[in-house]
Chains A and B, each alone.
Chain A
Amino acid sequence: MSGKSRTEALMAPLKAMTEARIGMGRSGGGLPTRASLAFALDHARAKEAVWSEMDRTKLAETLADLGPIGFASSRVSGREEYLTRPDLGRLLGDEADLPGAEPGGLAIVVADGLSATAVELNAAAVLRALVPALGDTGLPLAGIVLARQARVALGDEIAQRMGAAAAVTLIGERPGLSASDSLGAYISWAPRPGMPNADRTCISNIRSGGLVPDLAAAQIARLLKDMKRVGASGLEMKARLATLPAP
């Protein structure tokens, strides 16, 4: 269709009401070329985020001044297996190199998950804000472990091996079309393999256009304080907090 149709004119002011792709115009049953290619680009970015590998060497250099750095992988051998075998992505592989630490600290696990892009763009910013705030939580940093081909639950096993009292797993979330760089944070008290999902507390959509890294770090630090106070995470933490007077 050439020129602006009445449909497009009618929909134009409504576009501000939603991120949905409304009022795009059409040519027959097809999208205008520009919109069609823009969609394909968003999808290409999301695919790239899913299939790219985390650069652990570079990330280790970036984070070296924050604390001891370790490395781990799940039992998954490649990206395709990662996508089809979530069970293997939850199990720690053989060649883990974990920092030694006093028991009772906090293990931070940075995991690629479904978006290495999210880790690359946001993990360092979250940690730069979080690590200095740990003093307030009473949990010394046991170390930061960079985990490849990892699902959320892998963080708990790593943290348990390190004798940590709590674990924060920062992991790339499944990319959407509008954002492929969202990081999730899963926080668990007394981390151990086989923990039910309900025992973890989750913060999601951490990215510059969503929950910004500084605010996410502040939220994580506050949750760690609460967890230490009541000795639980997840739904149990909520339940126990509800019975306590405000601090």
Chain B
Amino acid sequence: MSYVTTLEQTRFVFPDLRTLLAKATPLRSGDVLAGVAADGPVERLAAQMALADLPLAAFVGADVPGVEGDEVSELIAARHDPAAFAPVASLTVGEFREWLLAPEADAAAIGALKWGLTPEMVAAVSKICRMQDLVSIAAKVRVLSAFRSTIGLPGRLATRNQPNHPTDDTRGIAASALDGLLMGTGDAVIGVNPATDSVEDYIRIVTLLDDLRLALEIPTQSCCLGHVTTAMAAMDKGAPVDLVFQSVAGSQKANDEFGVTLAMLAEAQEAALALGRGTVGTNAMYFETGQGSALSAEAHYGVDQQTMEARAYAVAREFDPLLVNTVVGFIGPEYLFNGKQILRAGLEDHFCGKLLGLPMGVDVCYTNHVEADQDDMDTLMITLCAAGVNFVITVPGSDDVMLNYQSLSFHDAVFARETLGLKPAPEFEDWLKRIGLTDAEGRLQDAPPALAGNAAVTGLLELSA
């Protein structure tokens, strides 16, 4: 079936859903690279108008990539719930946008759609939303998740403390983690991207993070972001694994590139839950995604990168994660060229993740070969905070010395608390007050003397001597 818009006697014809979605996507370099982008701003608008008039129901049972036997497409089809879809089943994509913006669509109404919406539906509506729409709609959605802390409550922002080190040095990781804790970060997770992927290093890293957590009695969870198979092997050996991590993407072939299948993720989730380490909840998975990963694996099937990204969320929501974040500016200028494209993509990803029911966070980040700087990151962070983002990534001084890119800083977390008024997870907020790192109003204080005398801290200091 083809889709047509006529603008002042010019007929624009889009032969299939895949083409319509791609051409309706706001400009980004990855779609140009893939050869699927609109030929210009007028054709893009024609596609957006055709898309706005398309019934949402056109996506039910539609296989957008059209690849026989793709397990992500099969999962999307199998999970679609007609009863949950019923409230919006008669709407077009354009009417759905208005439905979402209207005050009647509150957290409960939008949340009830979760299993009625497919990734392609939410990608479609995001393409005809301005940034302000992406903020106002997402801000109404609440997705809570919990392990030792509760993430996603209104008026709160959690942070991942990311103490990476280029050689996974134990003291280097501990020093950065402590720096972040002293700035009040780490309520989402204290999570290390390992430079190596051996089981021994994985176990050493989760053990050092767990020791730090126990010594300071921090109500949070830790994670080593190694491969899911490494996590499984570590759990087999009795390692203290809180969250199991995996990068995921929107097609089976793209997930093959990551060396992961749905069955492996199910097995890993089961193993993590069997450890019973959560105290206030049982969300034990952590996923990262990012626009362009399917294209870079040549596993996009002519589908635009933003729709493929939304399909990754269908994978993530299958496993009740504690945390999901897009690593939005990491992939490079051939996918997202500049600050403008990163800003838009970060808000789209957050919006689509939230509508699909994910506890969505964002790694607000960039590399040195994209046209972006700290000002762009400030804008994205502030906009995401207005949109109610569940958590953001923070690193020492915005400089990740292992992955060689710039993310938000521990300082930025202080800014979000004190200028934007966003509190940490309630369990973590209590801990910060109890040990004296924040005052009664939640303002960050100088390191309390008692903390400097803690065994974990003095142990680290002795190692430095």
B262 nearest CB across to chain A (Å)? 26
Partner of B452 from the list A6, A22, A42, A87 (CB cut-off 8 Å) is A6
Q: Which residues of A contact B165 (CB under 8 A)?
A: 18, 20
Given contacts A7-B446, A17-B171, A174-B369, contact A35 B397 (CB under 8 A): yes
* Inter-chain contact A18/B397, CB cutoff 8 Å: no
Q: Which residues of A contact B212 (CB under 8 A)?
A: none
Q: How far is the CA of A23 from the CA of B70 in the complex (A)?
A: 48
Q: Does B460 contact A (CB under 8 A)?
A: yes
Given contacts A31-B411, A43-B373, A84-B333, contact A20 B172 (CB under 8 A): yes
* Inter-chain contact A84/B29, CB cutoff 8 Å: yes
* Inter-chain contact A17/B404, CB cutoff 8 Å: no
Q: How far is the CA of A13 from the CA of B401 in the complex (A)?
A: 19
User: Chain B 1-41, CB within 8 Å of chain A: the 1/0 string?
Assistant: 00000000000000000000000000001001100000000
Given contacts A17-B169, A86-B334, contact A22 B397 (CB under 8 A): yes
Q: Which residues of A contact B368 (CB under 8 A)?
A: 43, 46-47, 49-50, 174-177, 180
Interface centre among B169, B179, B463 (most CB of A within 10 A): B179
Q: How far is the CA of A39 from the CA of B408 in the complex (A)?
A: 13
Q: Which residues of B contact A14 (CB under 8 A)?
A: 171, 175, 178-179, 460-461, 464
Q: How far is the CA of A5 from the CA of B452 in the complex (A)?
A: 12
Q: How far is the CA of A245 from the CA of B176 in the complex (A)?
A: 45
CB contact list, B155-192 vs A, under 8 A: 163-166, 169, 171-176, 178-179, 182-183
Q: Does A195 contact B (CB under 8 A)?
A: no
Q: Does A21 contact B (CB under 8 A)?
A: yes
Given contacts A14-B175, A50-B368, A50-B369, contact A177 B449 (CB under 8 A): no
CB contact list, A152-187 vs B, under 8 A: 174-178, 180
Please give me the 3 A-B residue pairs with the lowest Cβ-Cβ distance, nearest first.
Answer: A21-B397, A29-B415, A18-B172
* Inter-chain contact B182/A10, CB cutoff 8 Å: yes
Q: Does B53 contact A (CB under 8 A)?
A: no
* Inter-chain contact A83/B397, CB cutoff 8 Å: no
Q: How far is the CA of A50 from the CA of B395 in the complex (A)?
A: 24
Q: Which residues of A contact B404 (CB under 8 A)?
A: 174, 176-177
Interface centre among A16, A20, A31, A42 (most CB of B within 10 A): A20
B149 nearest CB across to chain A (Å)? 22
The 23 sampled A-B contact pairs (Cβ below 8 Å) are: A6-B446, A10-B447, A10-B451, A14-B461, A17-B172, A20-B179, A20-B401, A21-B409, A22-B176, A22-B396, A22-B397, A26-B411, A29-B413, A30-B411, A30-B415, A43-B374, A46-B368, A83-B334, A83-B337, A85-B334, A177-B406, A178-B399, A178-B401
Q: Does B74 contact A (CB under 8 A)?
A: no
Q: Which residues of B contact A87 (CB under 8 A)?
A: 33
Q: How far is the CA of A30 from the CA of B412 in the complex (A)?
A: 8
Q: Does A212 contact B (CB under 8 A)?
A: no
Q: Does B77 contact A (CB under 8 A)?
A: no
Q: Which residues of A contact B452 (CB under 8 A)?
A: 6, 10
* Inter-chain contact A84/B334, CB cutoff 8 Å: yes
* Inter-chain contact B395/A20, CB cutoff 8 Å: yes
* Inter-chain contact A20/B163, CB cutoff 8 Å: yes
Partner of A39 from the list B163, B398, B465 (CB cut-off 8 Å) is B398
User: Chain B 452-465, CB within 8 Å of chain A: the 1/0 string?
Assistant: 10000100110111
